[in-house]
Amino acid sequence: MQKLNQWITIFAAILACLSMSATYAVERGKLPMASDLSKEAELAREKKIPILILFSAPGCVYCKRVREEILIPTTYNAEYDDKVIMLEVESSNQGKIVDFDGHAISQEAFATKHRVGFAPTVKFFDAMGREVADPIIGLVTVDYYGGFMDQGIDKATAKIRAH
């Protein structure tokens, strides 16, 4: 009976660990819309990684290309799970999100607060909501965009880990 109790305890511990890691699991093939940046910031602080936000606009074909040809394919590369948190904010959406400081704000007001005037724009943030790398504004060519994104992630990560 004691051995059975030990096995049950071990099994319960394994399930608890799996459920905790599932909380922060990356959903492959998706670019999630931002909902609670304060929670994402907790994970970014823990992993010492940046938060990449794609600021998009409805009907923006270039936003769609950045999302579908660059960012979503990146979610299939498990190396990025520990490099960056990727989210999307729709710059003209009145829907509410939770900002880095824990306060509700519309997606549009969040974009305005961060001086986003053009879509697509990709910005890199630390866990405090500060920009930590140069933004990528617009889409000139898909061929180099992944490289620009990786440079931004690397620069942001170096800045975060230097503190």
Q: How many domains does the chain have?
A: 1
Q: What is the pLDDT of residue 140?
A: 85
For 51, half-sphere exposure in the C-beta direction (CA atoms, 13 angstrom radius) is 28
Length of the chain: 163
Range of the domain at 82: 27-162
- Amino acid residing at 155: K
Whole-number Å distance between alpha carbons of 26 and 81:
7
Which pTM was predicted?
Answer: 0.83
Which of the residues in the chain have pLDDT under 70? Answer: 1-26
Residue entry with tokens 């994402």: 40
pLDDT tens figures, 28-41: 878 999 999 999 99
User: Residue 108 falls within a domain, yes or no?
Assistant: yes
The pLDDT value recorded for residue 71 is 96
CATH number at residue 115: 3.40.30.10
Collapsing DSSP to helix, strand or coil, 122 comes out as: strand
Instruction: Report helix, strand or coil for 135.
Output: coil
**pLDDT value at position 26?**
59
